[in-house]
Amino acid sequence: MKEAIKNAAKVIIESRATIALTGAGISVESGIPDFRSKDGLWSKFDPEEYATIYAFRENPEKVWRMLKEMEEIVGKAKPNNAHIGLAELERMGLLGSVITQNVDNLHQEAGSKDVIEYHGNSKTLTCLWCKKTYDYEEKKGQYPPKCECGRILKPDVVFFGEAIPPLAMERGYQLAGSCRALLIIGTSAVVSPFNMLPRMAKQAGARIIELNLEETILTHDITDIFIKGSASTSMSEIISHVEGLKADNINR
């Protein structure tokens, strides 16, 4: 595993265009269970009943029973060393963008500037009728939160039945098709259309570095360097090796 960490750091240093794809696994150590896990949100709320845009339009009060629980979990979460490590790579000029499936805003809170959100962000709310937008903090503690027009607000997350934001998809495809190295962290990338990005990067010649607790369908298919273990520990070790390599280059 130490050799994999060293190789990953070397690839990141040598790549002139590195991006990261992240999923639920990167935020588990921040206290947010994967929605699909045995302790996740879908074990308590049937997504077909609570997480579709049709359910929200029909009965937003009911859907907010699920959203309230989601907000209570996400609201307590703080960035872990994996989020912080990605922000540090960006600060060092070694990471261009983070493309995430997560809606928890933890990448931004860690300091990442260029975050492309495939599934939106839970930290803002919008009225589907008058289109007025609010920061989550403005309505914190209100269940369900209401717009000044009187309608119930919807968090800016992509519900089942809604389209991925077009700009996020467009930028995701462009970056995946032009990157030279791709970090995959905390996701098996099976959900469409997110699952197209790793293969687009591979086809474009990128080196694939995968950080996951267990092997995925990507591991023996397209991954070049697989690092098994917690995302926060793995990223901390990668950052340490990257800093060491940069120092060696400066001293030569």
Active site amino acids: 119
Matching residue, tokens 């935020």: 27
Residue 183 CA to residue 18 CA, distance in Å, equals 8
Tell me: cis bond preceding 155? Omega within 30 of 0 counts.
Answer: no
The SS3 of residue 152 is strand
Asked if 185 contacts 20 with a C-beta cutoff of 8 angstroms, the reply is yes
Residue 100's contacts (CB-CB under 8 Å, 6 or more residues apart) are 21, 22, 23, 107, 115, 116, 117, 118, 119
Nearest to 20 by CA among 156, 197, 150: 197
How do strand 97-100 and strand 18-22 relate by DSSP bridges? parallel
Q: Are 83 and 104 in contact (CB under 8 A)?
A: no
Other C-beta atoms within 10 Å of 191: how many?
13
**Token pair for 197:** 């990005």
Beta bridge partners of 220: none
Pairing of the two strands 133-135 and 120-126: antiparallel
Residue 228 amino acid letter: K
Q: Return the number of other C-beta atoms located less than 10 Å from residue 33's C-beta.
A: 15
